A and B are shown apart, each in its own frame.
Chain A
Amino acid sequence: ETGVTQTPRHLVMGMTNKKSLKCEQHLGHNAMYWYKQSAKKPLELMFVYNFKEQTENNSVPSRFSPECPNSSHLFLHLHTLQPEDSALYLCASSLRDRGTGNTIYFGEGSWLTVV
């Protein structure tokens, strides 16, 4: 139990489907993140939310749409994805505090397969 819970753990979707990944953190943090882990590539930061406001979009295609309704919940809405979007999507959270190195706590990830 890491304090960051992701659902579903596994998702298979067609290219025309619309689905969402959900993340919830129980750590009292004020920043949340989506990272993408693809085979043979380093983990890539996708989005950053601080106090529910998006502060970073790392040139992510618009077929990925994040939503952060409050500081404990983060969603990633998926539509018209491509097979190359198949990956492990990791949610993370941290307590934004200058000078602490901002330890990031990761969830167990959602395995996404696009067929």
Chain B
Amino acid sequence: AQSVTQLDSQVPVFEEAPVELRCNYSSSVSVYLFWYVQYPNQGLQLLLKYLSGSTLVKGINGFEAEFNKSQTSFHLRKPSVHISDTAEYFCAVEAGGTSYGKLTFGQGTILTVHP
């Protein structure tokens, strides 16, 4: 079984500051890793995903994440945030192999960007 821990439930930052949202996972098998964003009153939208290859993954809206296998982490970063980045962010894992679509999510991190 897999589990995901998002280390911060809330992250307040000022506009144009950098931000890092932390995610750690545990799994006995290889995994695919995802970050989703949920804006108020909306569903989840994929930001980026790691399947294999380069450990630095770039996504939409200027976000990127780095896969660190030894630390079992997949932290999300953005060098300069905007007010419009205020949302809830979810880290998720899918076990490789036959676990199609069976995502295990973290608890979510609420990012609030202040002017």
Q: Which A residues are within 8 Å of any B CB, using their own CB?
A: 2, 4, 6, 31, 33, 40-43, 45, 48, 50, 56, 90, 92, 94, 96, 98-109
Contacts and interface: CB of A to CB of B under 8 A. Distances in A.
Contacts, number: 66
Per DSSP, chain B at the interface is strand
A45 B32 CA distance: 16
A28 B45 CA distance: 18
B70 interface: no
Interface residues of B, number: 25
Contacts of A101: 32, 34, 49-51, 94
23 contacts: A2-B45, A4-B43, A6-B43, A33-B101, A40-B107, A42-B106, A43-B92, A45-B103, A48-B100, A48-B102, A56-B102, A90-B43, A94-B101, A96-B100, A96-B101, A99-B51, A101-B94, A102-B100, A106-B36, A106-B43, A108-B41, A108-B43, A109-B43
B38 to A, nearest CB: 9
B8 to A, nearest CB: 15
A42 B106 CA distance: 6
Contacts of A96: 100-101
Centre residue among B4, B42, B102 by max chain A CB count within 10 A: B102
